[in-house]
């Protein structure tokens, strides 16, 4: 039986039981030491987390927690701040760049930054045990190994990730590479990135964070850190639209009324070929990269990307983004047959092909949401959570509950090899992924290589309230 939250549509006033979160962090602040000199890195960014008042499109001011960026070394494109938005600056780099980020915590509590989707070492991954207190800094040094794609960054202190992200802490991390550049996809005005989030505000203007077993929802749509307002003006022609679902818990059922999505990429960059897609479930932390052709619409015409009810007939559809065609200049773009050389991992590469590791997404009394009944503990892992460096494994997530769980694994990107669906179909399974949506009743197998860094990493549900509760575990690559 599917038993969804009634709050799968925007609704004010629905409240779950409040959950008290405590920071369980026994580690002292640790600083990475790196032998690199400033001259040996390509990009240096100072990223400061602090509280700041902003309107962000509202008629009142709200105290957000924001990332403020300062470019110490690099070019203008490496760090682009978004005016009036509470989101952190967009970091844009090329594959192969050596990046240094000096994170400063000016918040009233511990925090640490995680580079979601990037393949970096344990020390650079923002593992919760590295959370630093107010006044401290943490230095990240990493080489960007990932393919071109839309990645992002957000806090990761245990028990507080949901709260801190809700307060505003998040930003995009865009990677470009030669392979993508050769395609000459639409750029400039015709390449648009959208971070979609939901927030609720109190009458006083403060953010209204209400965590529950279902997660924390909001009744106001925020697009790129600003309250959704007028339609976005577009020209006739081809656009590249990229989306991040930056919500704590809300899943969208994306549909393009009057238009069509041609998916070209997912979490970990470009697909081999473009795929037409009418609707899809879009879960927290997932990314969707597509081409949309506005050439055949009339000037003045409006189009809308909507979220349909998650379950047909339950709830209402609502509009996420509206577009208005404003002028006739069109760009010509030849759709390439092959977008990328994306490699498909063969199932037979897995050492445990006939014996996938099984993880059950279940609640446990006294803990809330868990993975196989186990809660997160610093530096604890069981046998199944130990992986040999250099191996390829299949992990299976089974969801016997009525709640969807978007499962995220740190480290390398993975691929989905098999999905036995419950009743709800239409998850994003193509390409390289770092989040896989496991709908009620679903059994999903993913294949992943553990061949880049040794050390302790985490995997968790990206419903951030589930993660904070205890739906997170370590895995160790040895």
Residue nearest to ligand C2O (CB): 116
From CA 19, how far away is CA 369, in angstroms rounded?
12
Shortest CB 459 distance to ligand C2O, Å: 8
Nearer CB in complex with Cu ion: 321/436? 436
Could you tell me the strand order of the sheet in which 368-371 lies?
368-371, 357-364, 391-398, 443-450, 414-420
Three-state SS annotation for 272-324: EEEEEECEEEECCCCEEEEEEECCCCCCCCEEEEEECCCECCECCCEEEEEEE
Q: What is the size of the binding site for Cu ion (CB under 5 A)?
A: 5
Nearer CB in complex with ligand C2O: 194/294? 194
Residue 210 binds: one of Cu ion, ligand C2O, none (C-beta under 5 to 8 A by kind): none
Which of 152, 151, 149, 144 has the alpha carbon at shortest distance from 185?
A: 149
Candidates 94, 463, 470, 474; binder of Cu ion (CB under 5 A) is: 463
Residue 448 binds: one of ligand C2O, Cu ion, none (C-beta under 5 to 8 A by kind): none
Residue 374 binds: one of ligand C2O, Cu ion, none (C-beta under 5 to 8 A by kind): none
Shortest CB 293 distance to ligand C2O, Å: 31
In the complex, which residues of this chain contact ligand C2O (CB under 6 A)?
114, 116, 154, 156, 285, 408, 410, 458, 460, 462
Nearer CB in complex with Cu ion: 240/405? 405
Beta bridge partners of 358: 396
Residue 466 sits in the site that holds Cu ion (CB under 5 A): yes
Q: Provide the token pair at 249.
A: 């818990």
Residue 405 sits in the site that holds Cu ion (CB under 5 A): yes
From CA 448, how far away is CA 267, in angstroms rounded?
14
Residue 433 binds: one of Cu ion, ligand C2O, none (C-beta under 5 to 8 A by kind): none
Nearer CB in complex with Cu ion: 206/360? 360
Question: Of 99-107, 272-280, 314-322, 458-466, which segment contacts Cu ion by CB under 5 A?
Answer: 458-466
Per-residue exposure over 101-115, b if at least 16 CB sit within 10 Å of its own CB, e if not: bbbbbebebbbbbbb
Q: Tell me how crowded residue 231 is: count the other CB atoms within 10 A of its CB.
A: 15
Candidates 104, 116, 129, 176; binder of Cu ion (CB under 5 A) is: 116
Per-residue exposure over 325-356, b if at least 16 CB sit within 10 Å of its own CB, e if not: bbeeeeeebeeeeebbebeebeeeebeeeeeb
Residue 405 binds: one of Cu ion, ligand C2O, none (C-beta under 5 to 8 A by kind): Cu ion
Residue 407 sits in the site that holds Cu ion (CB under 5 A): no
Residues making contact with Cu ion (CB under 5 A): 116, 405, 461, 463, 466
């Amino acid at each position: 039986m599917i038993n969804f939250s009634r709050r799968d549509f925007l609704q004010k006033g629905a409240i779950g039981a409040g959950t008290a979160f405590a920071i369980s962090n026994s580690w002292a602040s640790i600083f990475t030491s790196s032998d690199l000199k400033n001259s040996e890195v390509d990009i240096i960014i100072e990223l400061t987390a602090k509280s700041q008042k902003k309107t962000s499109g509202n008629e009142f001011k709200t105290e957000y927690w924001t990332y403020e960026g300062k470019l110490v070394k690099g070019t203008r494109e490496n760090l682009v701040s978004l005016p009036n938005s509470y989101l952190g600056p967009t970091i844009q780099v090329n594959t192969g760049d050596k990046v240094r980020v000096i994170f400063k915590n000016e918040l009233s509590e511990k925090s640490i930054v995680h580079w979601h989707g990037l393949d970096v070492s344990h020390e650079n991954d923002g593992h919760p045990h590295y959370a630093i207190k107010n006044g401290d800094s943490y230095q990240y040094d990493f080489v960007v190994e990932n393919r071109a794609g839309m990645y992002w960054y957000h806090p990761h202190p245990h028990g507080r990730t949901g709260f801190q992200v809700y307060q505003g802490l998040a930003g995009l991390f865009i990677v470009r590479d030669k392979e993508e550049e050769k395609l000459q996809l639409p750029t400039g005005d015709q390449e648009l990135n959208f971070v979609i989030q939901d927030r609720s505000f109190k009458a006083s203007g403060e953010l209204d964070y209400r965590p529950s077993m279902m997660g924390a929802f909001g009744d106001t749509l925020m697009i790129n850190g600003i309250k959704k307002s007028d339609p976005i003006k577009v020209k006739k022609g081809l656009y590249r639209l990229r989306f991040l679902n930056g919500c704590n818990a809300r899943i969208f059922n994306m549909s393009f009324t009057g238009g069509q999505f041609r998916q070209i990429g997912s979490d970990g960059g470009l697909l081999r070929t473009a795929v037409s897609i009418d609707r899809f479930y879009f879960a927290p932390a997932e990314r969707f990269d597509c081409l949309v052709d506005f050439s055949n619409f009339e000037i003045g015409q409006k189009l809308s990307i909507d979220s349909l009810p998650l379950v047909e007939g339950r709830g209402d559809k609502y509009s996420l983004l509206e577009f208005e065609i404003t002028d006739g200049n069109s760009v010509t773009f030849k759709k390439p047959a092959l977008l990328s050389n994306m490699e498909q991992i063969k199932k037979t590469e897995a050492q445990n092909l006939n014996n996938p590791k099984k993880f059950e997404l279940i609640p446990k009394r006294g803990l809330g949401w868990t993975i196989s009944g186990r809660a997160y503990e610093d530096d604890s892992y069981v046998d199944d959570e130990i992986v040999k460096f250099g191996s390829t494994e299949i992990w299976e997530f089974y969801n016997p509950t009525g709640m969807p769980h978007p499962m995220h694994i740190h480290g390398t990107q993975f691929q989905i090899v098999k999905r036995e669906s419950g009743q709800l179909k239409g998850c994003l399974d193509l390409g390289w992924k770092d989040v896989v949506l496991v709908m009620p009743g679903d059994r999903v197998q993913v294949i992943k290589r553990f061949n880049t860094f040794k050390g302790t990493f985490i995997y968790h549900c990206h419903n951030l309230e589930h993660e904070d509760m205890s739906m997170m575990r370590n895995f160790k690559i040895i």
